[in-house]
Amino acid sequence: MAATPERVRDGLNSEPELLAANPRARILIVQGPYRKAALRGRWEEWLVSAGRLPVFRELATGWVPDGAHVLAHSGDSGWTVWSARRRSDRSYALAIDAAFTQKSDTWRADWALSQRRPRLIRRILEA
């Protein structure tokens, strides 16, 4: 999800709501490649909208560093951020790769658990 739009519109408001409705949602936020002041303003505007939702509320507490490129969430470990001093194609590629590498096991386990649950519920209902 891109979290530094020029303006937060209705369509962008619905995306965080959909993700927040699923406790096992795999969330990856990419901040845009803007200059520091512009990025900060866009991020703060997005947080006003998304920060009202429980899963995103922690992001509004001010701990996200200025150099943040990618933020990823998993139910077990919460939010993790990947950042760099400079924004470039390479720094974004490395941040996205690191995020997927670190979170993939957790996300795969969450997905597997969500796939097993319906069978378990069926067995309980059939008993």
pLDDT digits (tens, 9 = 90+) for 20-70: 888 778 899 999 898 889 999 999 988 988 989 999 999 999 899 989 999
Average pLDDT estimate for 78-97: 92
- The model's pTM: 0.77
CB-neighbour burial class of residue 70 (10 A; exposed 0-12, middle 13-18, buried 19+) = buried
Query: Residue 12 corresponds to which tokens in the numbers above?
Result: 């962008």
Q: Whole-number mean pLDDT of the chain?
A: 81
The dihedral built from the CA positions of residue 44, 59, 27 and 101, taken in this order, carries a sign that is positive
pLDDT at 91: 93
d(CA 41, CA 2): 14
CA distances 2 to 81, 85, 105, 118, 119, Å, are: 14, 20, 23, 32, 35
Question: pLDDT grade, residue 122 (50/70/90)?
Answer: very low
- Is residue 127 pLDDT above 70, yes or no? no
Cβ–Cβ under 8 Å, residues 81 and 3 = no
Quote the pLDDT of residue 114: 57
pLDDT the model gives residue 99: 92
Q: What is the dihedral of CA 32, 33, 36, 40, to 10 degrees?
A: -10
Give the pLDDT mean for 69-75: 89
125 pLDDT above the threshold of 60? no
